[in-house]
Amino acid sequence: MMNKLLQPAGWLPPKGYANGIAARGTQIFVGGQIGWNGQQQFETDDFIAQCGQALRNIAEVLREAGAGPEHMVRMTWYITDRDEYNARLSELGPVYRDAMGRNFPAMTCVQVAALVEARAKVEIEVTAVLPD
């Protein structure tokens, strides 16, 4: 069984995420990924570029488990600037789809005062389920 989207009757469909997902299988927990490369070096301070790198990092960790973006059931974004996030959503969409395809898990996005790595503008964690 693949993941089942949970969309209550009469609710408007969300844009870019799911209200809920039911899944069964091996759970995969991806720790918070930030916008640095595999050698823990930032190549940019641009918010969108850091988002793209964090998303590619997530995809790589999922591959290590034999999974892919289609197995994501939960995604939590921690951002340092809500206004920049909202102002740049049209740029973020293509970057997201390039790394994750059209896979939109249940998602939460919160603004935080700071992240542990001072140059990080975004940190994203994911839960995925690889079906039995």
Instruction: Give the CATH superfamily of 28-131.
Output: RutC-like (3.30.1330.40)
CB 77 within 8 A of CB 108: yes
pLDDT of residue 1: 52
Tokens of 15: 């844009």
* Domain positions in the chain: 28-131
CA distance linking residue 76 with residue 119, whole number of Å: 19
DSSP 116: S
CA distance linking residue 50 with residue 80, whole number of Å: 12
pLDDT of residue 132: 85
CA distance linking residue 117 with residue 73, whole number of Å: 26
Question: pLDDT tens, position by position, for the chain (132 residues)?
Answer: 578 889 999 999 998 899 999 999 999 999 999 999 999 999 999 999 999 999 999 999 999 999 999 999 999 999 999 999 999 999 999 999 999 999 999 999 999 999 999 999 999 999 999 998
CB 128 within 8 A of CB 26: no
Neighbours of 40 (CB within 10 A): 8
CB 131 within 8 A of CB 102: no
The residues pairing with 76 across neighbouring beta strands, listed in sequence order, are 108, 125
pLDDT of residue 124: 98
Supply the mean pLDDT for the chain.
95
Q: How far is CA 20 from the centre of its chain?
A: 15
Is beta strand 4-5 parallel, antiparallel or unpaired with respect to 106-111?
unpaired
Tell me the whole-structure pTM to 2 decimals: 0.92
pLDDT of residue 114: 97
pLDDT of residue 3: 83
CA distance linking residue 75 with residue 52, whole number of Å: 15
